[in-house]
Amino acid sequence: MKTLTFMAVLAVGGFLQPSAQAAGAERVTITGELIDTWCYTSEIMYALGTAHHKCAVWCAVGGIPVSIRTEDEQVYVILKVEEDDTSVANPRLVKIQTHEVTVNGDLYTRDGVNYLIVDQVADDHGIVHINHEDFGIQPF
Which residues contribute to the site for another protein (CB under 8 A)?
A: 2, 5, 9, 21-22, 25, 37-38, 41-46, 50, 53-55, 57-59, 61-65, 73-75, 77, 79-80, 85-89, 91, 94-95, 97-99, 106, 108, 110-115, 117, 127, 130, 132-133, 136-137, 139
- HEC letters along the chain: CHHHHHHHHHHHHCCCCCCCCCCCCEEEEEEEEEEEHHHHHHCCCCCCCHHHHHHHHHHHHCCCCEEEEECCCCEEEEEEECCECCCCCCHHHHHCCCCEEEEEEEEEEECCEEEEEEEEEEEECCCCCCCHHHHCCCCC
Least distance in Å: CB of 16 to another protein? 18
Least distance in Å: CB of 29 to another protein? 19
Quick one: 73 or 123, whose CB is closer to another protein? 73
